[in-house]
């Protein structure tokens, strides 16, 4: 019999606060005592610390991950009449940022194993576009490190550089992920990070950052985030209001210290899931060689996704679908984005299921989820 509701567990942000309550409360108190709340010492310190964590030259704090993408694109010279290639299998924010920058999204299919941009399809789309004399000009590419697995950046960088395209990485789900020993966010011209509360490095409100190794690009983002002021109250370029506030920066400084340990806990849970799921017939997430997966989500695939989801709900195990529909199939974007056939993207939408993933799960919670998955093939409830 179906339970009335899945187990009531603290949200990830609530668990995060309780885990580091004293440190967070002290950080908040210091901000209030300082009397400085916008672009102050805490923001500057977090920017320096996060850049150092990534191995990047610059981090520029902004108000959200969506803003970070838009401002990174604008700083790269992307605007009206330009086209930006990305994937349709992503959060809508990726595409919204492209349109806010004035450009047209062009969709590339994903790799079936990692759900990240397929370099071969990227090359094909560029070749097709170059043969066409019409349409917007290809200006940039946004690879999305979806669910915490890095995209194939060596191949994407090689293709993009061959054609003079800017690269802006969407790192909203890949804090701490690496490929060939390099963190995501350090491969392209710029990268956008989200610190939305449920991210691996999450604030307690909206927050984001642009990361880059380009001095001039970093300075342009700094201008863009605050009305283009240079000097203050004199706009040298058209800008916006997208500033990282001191409270969020102070709390992010606390949480950044714990990010490596939390990512390891996510990876440990992922290994336990994989060991259990090897006996169920579902497809577990693939981690490419030379890659460290951040496991923002633990996403499995099954041709029987919906029955599996219902079964787990019966056992009190909450799951989600990231995402119910790719962007090109959503009503708001019909006729406003450029794409051709995206078979692997559309197949993913029919089969993916996100299992519970948190570094704060207790042993009993993990055991219950694993027991339910073990009994999935047998079609009977878990005894956990």
Give me the pLDDT at residue 374, please: 85
pLDDT tens per residue across span 32-61:
999 999 999 999 999 999 999 999 999 999
Distance CA 284, CA 116 (A): 15
Question: Is the pLDDT reported for residue 207 higher than 90?
Answer: yes
What pLDDT score does 365 carry?
85
Average pLDDT over residues 151-157: 98
Q: Kindly report which listed range (57-61, 104-108, 374-378) carries the lowest average pLDDT score.
A: 374-378
Contacts of 160 (CB under 8 A, 6+ apart): 141, 166, 167, 188
Q: Please give the helix or strand (H or E) that residue 59 lies within, else none.
A: strand 58-62
Distance (Å, whole) CA 178 – CA 145 = 10
pLDDT for the residue numbered 131: 86
Helix/strand/coil (H/E/C) assignment for every residue in 127-180: HHHHHCCCCCEEEEECCECHHHCCCCHHHHHHHHHHCCCEEEEECCCCCCCEEC
Q: What pLDDT, on the 0 to 100 scale, is given for residue 250?
A: 98
Specify the residue for token string 């009977």.
380
Rounded CA-CA distance 149/151 in Å is: 6
Above pLDDT 70, what percent of the chain?
A: 96
Residue 281: what pLDDT? Answer: 81
What pTM was computed for the model? 0.95
For range 136-150, the mean pLDDT: 97
How would residue 362 be classed by pLDDT, with cut points 50, 70 and 90?
confident
Report all structural domains of the chain as residue ranges with CATH numbers, in order of start.
Answer: 14-254 (3.40.640.10), 259-374 (3.90.1150.10)
The answer to whether residue 269 scores a pLDDT higher than 60 is yes
Cβ pair 141, 264 in contact under 8 A: no
Close Cβ partners of 21 (under 8 Å, ≥ 6 residues apart): none
Note the pLDDT of residue 6.
44
- Distance, CA of 310 to CA of 56 (rounded, Å): 44
Confidence of residue 376 (pLDDT cuts 50, 70, 90): confident
Q: How far is 360 from 358, CA to CA, in rounded Å?
A: 5
Burial 115-130 (b: 16+ CB within 10 A, else e): bbbbbebbbebbeebe
Among 35-49, 78-92, 330-344, which stretch is predicted with the lowest mean pLDDT? 330-344
């Amino acid at each position: 019999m179906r339970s009335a509701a899945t187990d009531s567990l603290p949200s990830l942000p609530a668990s995060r606060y309780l885990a580091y309550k004293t440190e967070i409360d002290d950080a908040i108190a210091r901000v209030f005592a300082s009397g400085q709340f916008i672009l102050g010492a805490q923001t500057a310190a977090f920017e320096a610390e996060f850049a150092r964590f990534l191995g990047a030259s610059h981090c520029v704090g902004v108000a959200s991950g969506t803003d970070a993408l838009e401002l990174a694109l604008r700083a790269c010279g992307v605007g009206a009449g330009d086209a930006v290639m990305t994937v349709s299998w992503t959060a809508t924010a990726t595409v919204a940022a492209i349109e806010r920058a004035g450009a047209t999204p062009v969709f590339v299919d994903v790799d079936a194993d990692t759900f990240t941009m397929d370099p071969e399809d990227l090359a094909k789309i560029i070749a097709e576009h170059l043969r066409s004399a019409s349409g917007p000009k290809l200006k940039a590419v946004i690879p999305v490190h979806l669910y915490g697995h890095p995209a194939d950046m060596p191949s994407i960088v090689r293709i993009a550089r061959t054609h003079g395209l800017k690269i802006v990485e969407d790192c909203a789900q890949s804090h701490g992920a690496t490929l060939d020993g390099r963190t995501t966010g350090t491969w392209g011209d710029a990268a956008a990070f989200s610190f939305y509360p449920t991210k691996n490095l999450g604030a307690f409100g909206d927050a984001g950052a642009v990361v880059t190794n380009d001095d001039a690009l970093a300075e342009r983002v700094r201008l863009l985030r605050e009305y283009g002021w240079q000097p203050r109250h004199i706009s040298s370029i058209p800008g916006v209001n997208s500033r990282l506030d001191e409270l969020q920066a102070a709390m992010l400084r606390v949480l950044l210290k714990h990010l490596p340990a939390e990512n390891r806990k996510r990876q440990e849970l992922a290994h336990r899931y994989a060991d259990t799921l090897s006996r169920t017939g579902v497809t577990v997430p693939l981690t490419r060689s030379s890659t460290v997966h951040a496991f923002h989500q633990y996403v499995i695939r099954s041709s029987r996704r919906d029955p599996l989801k219902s079964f787990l709900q019966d056992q009190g195990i909450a799951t989600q679908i990231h995402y119910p529909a790719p962007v090109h199939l959503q009503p708001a974007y019909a006729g406003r984005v450029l794409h051709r056939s995206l078979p692997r993207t559309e197949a993913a939408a029919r089969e993916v299921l996100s299992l519970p993933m948190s570094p704060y799960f207790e042993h009993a919670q993990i055991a219950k989820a694993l027991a339910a998955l073990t009994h999935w093939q047998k079609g009977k409830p878990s005894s956990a």
